[in-house]
Amino acid sequence: MQRALRALFLIVLIPGTTAFAQTTPVAPGARVRVSVAGQRDKLAGRLREQSTDSLVIADSETGVLRAVGVDQVTKLEIWGGHSVAKAWVVGTGVGALAGILVGATVDPPCAGGGWCIGPQDQGDMVVAGVVGGAVVGGVIGLVVGAIRGHEWVPLDLAVIRSQGTGTGARLSWRIALPAVRAP
């Protein structure tokens, strides 16, 4: 059973460590969708410029430039998320979990003794189920992700609230102090 858990960790969790949350600055020209406080409809269009206090967006329907105060933005989304990678990770995880269930319930083909190539005991069946399920689930996830294409991905609002067009440098210090134990 430990081999199955190790295989599950290697197949599912390690590739899943890439973050899907967008924390990078929004580049001018990016396709964005903004929810503004007090307005029901969302503003969708191309980001033209960004300053410390506002975003200028070219409306996708009319092309009219609209300035939105950064403090009025309640939600910011960018078009073009990595739905293929996300679908692959989800598919791999679901496939691996299904593989655990199948491997735990199916009898090993080589349990009768004698010479045989294949899983010898139930633990080997679980490992084979995890690996096989993860591969099949990952392929299905890739196909589904490729068909679905891009999607709107929410951005952390701190990204636009901390960005500006000004230049400058930021310097920070981190000093590690030894731990002191009380007598």
Written as tens digits, the pLDDT of the chain (183 aa) is 556 555 555 554 444 443 444 545 678 888 999 998 888 888 899 999 888 888 899 988 898 999 988 889 899 888 876 667 888 899 999 999 999 998 888 877 776 666 777 777 888 888 889 999 999 999 999 888 888 767 787 888 777 776 554 444 445 555 555 655 655
- Sort 130 into a burial class: Cβ within 10 Å, 0-12 / 13-18 / 19+: buried
